[in-house]
Structure 1
Amino acid sequence: MPNREQILRAPKVLLHDHLDGGLRPATIVELAAEQGYDRLPATDPGKLAVWFREAADSGSLPRYLETFAHTCAVMQRRDALVRVAAECVEDLAADGVVYAEIRYAPEQHLEDGLTLEEVVEAVNEGFREGERRAAAAGHRIRTAALLTAMRHAARAFEIAELANRYRDRGVAGFDIAGAEAGFPPTRHLDAFEYLKRENNHFTIHAGEAFGLPSIWQALQWCGADRLGHGVRIIDDIEVGDDGAVRLGRLAAYVRDKRIPLEMCPTSNLQTGAATSYGEHPIGLLRRLRFRVTVNTDNRLMSDTSMSREFEHLVRTFQYSLDDLQWFTVNAMKSAFIPFDERLAMINEVIKPGYAALRSEWLFPSVSENPA
């Protein structure tokens, strides 16, 4: 099995990461002081980090979502958005991520007078700055934005138009997020129909806190390219006492159509979608060769990173470098950038990166003076 240092150096692809869920605690404290925001539960970065993790570790998706009130509160100004976006890319690159799609909801950053367009342009500027800083530190990374609409609000069509307007200008697609129960994706059919007419890409949070109907609607009514989480697809899979597996029609459809599942193991444990890493459906879904990808969701709230997610899976399922490459290639195949660019990343960055790590197992370096 790969060790921690090898996992850190392994090329990784991240499709499901929320910008407002990945701030550095020290940055939150500094921005809050600059902006006069006095509602933080702690002003010591270490204590604040613990508070976020413990508040999110409740087993309740609505309670988990409450933690974002503090991060969004300090992301209402242009300079703050640029800073947060740049630091996000730096942190991902330092963790070995070579491609990332980072999502955020522009409608949640308008309280200090920014327009939707100004929000998008500030975040894009931050992403490009983060890529430059990462390159200067010797890390290669490419990032793209996904614009998210909140499923309980009524701005999905407007955000979909925004995503289309900034397409090929730093924005790769669209998403809806927020509490699933009571807010089905079908409430936003006009946005999805518009995106399909424009041949644009979108993913939908589905099958996390709500079950198979949420997944079915996201796919069959809305036409999602990917499923955000999708962990509840396990409800349509039966494993007999003899180990025989039977897929229901929806699960079979998801596998047959190679629909990507943006799985976030640690986050799923926090929100109650799974009870432990060992019981997480990702193990069975990988064995059944669903198009599974591994993601962080919210690095601050889950106190996680891509390397930590891979470490959990390696320890739990005894995964090898081949398994980690399989997850990574799945993610790169499922990205919302053009096919030739995805292929180049796979063949020029990901596969050579894993091949170099494997060679260390076959031909370990030997000290010139082994004695």
Structure 2
Amino acid sequence: MSDDEFLREAMTERLAVGGHLRSPRWRQAVLDTPRHEFLRGGYFRRVDGEGATGWEPVMPEDPAWLPATYEDDSLVTQIAGTIAPGDIRGRIFRAPTSSSTMPGLVVRMLEDLQVSDGMRVLEIGTGTGYSTALLCHRLGDGLVTSIEVDADVSTRARTALGATGHLPRLIVGDGLAGHPDGGPYDRIVATCGVLGIPPAWLAQTRPGGKILATVCGWMYSSELARLTVEDGVAHGRLLGGRISFMLARPHLPPPLGTLPDLGPGEEREAVIGADALDDWTARFVAQLAAPRAQLLRLSLDGGEAHPVVLDVDAGSWASLRQLGGRWIVRQGGPDRLWDRVEDHVTRWQRAGSPDLERFRITVTPEAQTITWPN
């Protein structure tokens, strides 16, 4: 048995024991699909220091490379939208923009997709192509379409898929628009986060078909949702597990630009403090209240950094600070963001603070609604 086969078997067993890998067909797909082939271009290893987070390349000649490809970790494969591991020497201090998702999450999503033989699947976000290969193994190349916004990423995935014997339909384009020429699909699965389920996905899903995607917000709480489409409307629920993906590029928050003056504004004692949003579910609820707002920490007048909720486009903001044992909120702009957050979070708390698994989601071509039981 070769080193990579040994590592693949060990990873498969760990995923099964961890409850991520539950069915024989997906287990065989993982056993037969060499993840390292999809990381031939290397990956970036995180390096934490006293300043900004840095990233350094790890290439196939590094002894650490092969074992890392079979750990249950996400591995960053692109920085700043264009930079691959082979492009640099040393470290880079920019934000990741593409990665190979941790195998445990990949197989959990494939299990949750509930596919059966003969189903046609559209994958949003080809990435390295590893999850695409697993879909091809399970369903056959001809039933898998995968769309990727980045042409270079798609090209590398095509090469890796070919090296492992797969030839699915690969499309370069905006995954939020789907790919109507290949539809209708029995299943749509997204490997990026979205602020809302796009209407195009509803239109391209066969009646009774399912959509599996991670619903996110700019306060960076997110959850996996599975929806069934009927008559152009999708109904479903959140599946739990604190799933997190990079947002689809068109859904990234706007740049901060010139910040509004956070000095003047209406000030009062807060009913709920910023520390309430340390809770993952409370923060998800807060996002529903202020879906276009970001949660930041900003220094006012060069002093201590405080939590700030900011809607860049609207110019609305709420700044919070602690005074003794109380939280004080100051708000400005056309909307009172913290009023809305407090209203949603207190209603959720009065309902018994239900877990995200009890939330329900409905999507029409016009709107997305997420509710919790009262």
The alignment's TM-score, normalised by the length of structure 1, stands at 0.28
The structure carrying a bigger helix percent of its residues is 1
The structure carrying a bigger strand percent of its residues is 2
Ranked by relative contact order (alpha carbons within 8 Å, sequence separation 6 or more), the top structure is 1
